[in-house]
Amino acid sequence: MGPKLRCAARLRVLLALWLRPQSAEARLLETQLVEECHAEGGQCLQRASRLSERYEELLAAEAPQEQEVTIILNHWQRPAENLFGQLRAAAAAPEALEVWLCVFGSPMAAEYQAVVDDFRSSGGSKVKLISSEVDFGVYGRFLLASAARTRYVYIVDDDVPFPVSAAGQYLRHIRKLPGVWGHAGHIRRSDPETARWVDRPKKPVAVDYANAAWFLETRWIASAFLREPPLSRLTGEDMHLSYMLRKVLGLQTWVVGWRRDKHPLSRYNLGMTDRTTLTPPIFSFRSFLARAQMARGPAFRHPPSFDTLAFVENVVQARRVLKLVRHCPKAPSRPQTLSLLHAGLPTTEVQAVAAEICAELATPCTFVPFEVCGEVCNEMGFAGVTTLDMRVGQTALAHNDTASLGFLAADTLEAAFSLLQALHVAKLWLPCEETWSTRAVRLAAELHSEREPGGLGIRVIPCEDESTSAVR
């Protein structure tokens, strides 16, 4: 590589580090500097100082609009009349810089387009239609929201009749108490008497996740929401949002009802369909998603309690746990409840051993489901939590057969620590073999014990040639 090309390459690296890629001004400056670099040769590096002189100016141009909000609507098959009412309320909001309408793979795309055209003809310049023949599902709007230029986004379902002042009200709430804000949400608890649906309360209420609308900072989508892949693309985007923000940023989800304003565009009604997240089949499926999230972190604000978690790397180690429980029926260390913790073992094999373990215990390894969903929970076995799968390396292994050891170890540490922080666990059993995954789980337990008074009891499961008395 000649000096001119080396110079150009260095300038490109500097620009990539200093300037955000979506800036048209930054791209133009890059082009000019590279052209000058070819003309001036090695001397062009002296011009790199100009970047630092303009850095603050360019950064300010890219900074999000602090006082403004991007309102994002998503319509698929609900009546087109719903869209007209929402567009009028959203566009009239003084805090709304733009209103984005997502229409992804909708059978009613033509009807929605007609509403937008009519609205624009009346001066609705804030509205931007983003349409695609591809249905990106419930996650598409969140992926799109990460590109908003405003500091805040308000993502709203197509059946929410929000008032003109909704964005302004949530803006005041989030400044006082950062987190995800909405008008309705769900509290999941092992006690069905306290598990409940919260809809437009007069005062803020902390929930496990909000439904139907979400007000939050735009940057949180990239820093937390997109950090782990979702368990399903069919539903659960609201659960994934609250789970990841609670896990990564330590932010809670809050719901509070809007104060109805006197704006004439705030008065409108919306049509509904018979399928929602509370429809029994969908709700039951979401229950399984929530339980799977629990194996990697704080899916619930009020999780169930476990007397003992036993980490195992293979079925042989799981059978050692079974042998230990059987041979010590009256030992003081015998757990009341126990769940096997693993990092992606074959589900059928490990669950079969876990069921045998739980059959040996005085207290069944079950608890009342997080919600009352009738016989469906019993038929699907939702109430049984005999295993917890941390799904280590799921991001990398979803695309390749291998993943770096460093990534897998870090993912194990993060998942185990988040799990221990979220659940009420008294004791942790570890296998006698010293492997990288065992060391990662042990380190997670030690870090957890430093933060929690009383700590966590750590015991080693004896190998085959050791006495069962090694665990007390």
In this prediction, what percent of the chain has a pLDDT beyond 70?
74
CATH class of segment(s) 65-278 = alpha beta
Are β-strands 127-132 and 184-187 bridged in parallel, bridged antiparallel, or unpaired? unpaired
Tokens for 369, please give them: 């489901």
Could you tell me the residue ranges of all domains in the chain? Answer: 3-62, 65-278, 285-470
pLDDT greater than 50 at residue 21: no
Closest CA to 335 of 303, 370, 310, 304: 310
Q: Rounded distance, CA 443 to CA 63, Å?
A: 39
For residues 299, 300, 304 and 306, what is the CA-based torsion angle, rounded to 10 degrees?
40
pLDDT at 43: 54
H or E element, residue 342: strand 338-342
pLDDT at 379: 60
* DSSP string of 189-243, one letter each residue: -SSTTT-EEEES-SS-EEESEE-SEEEEETHHIIIIITSS--S-SSS-HHHHHHH
CATH class of segment(s) 285-470 = alpha beta
pLDDT by residue (tens digit) across 32-84? 666 666 565 555 555 555 555 555 565 555 556 667 999 999 999 888 988 99
pLDDT greater than 60 at residue 377: no
Tokens for 51, please give them: 């970047």
For the segment 160-177, the average pLDDT, to the nearest whole number, is 96
pLDDT at 440: 95
Tell me the residue type at 406. G
Q: Out of 150-159, 191-200, 367-376, 407-416, pick the least confident.
A: 367-376
Q: Rounded distance, CA 241 to CA 234, Å?
A: 14
pTM, 2 dp? 0.81
pLDDT greater than 50 at residue 368: no
Are β-strands 253-255 and 180-182 bridged in parallel, bridged antiparallel, or unpaired? parallel
For the segment 9-23, the average pLDDT, to the nearest whole number, is 49
The model's confidence at residue 279, banded by pLDDT at 50, 70 and 90, is low
The residue count for the chain: 472
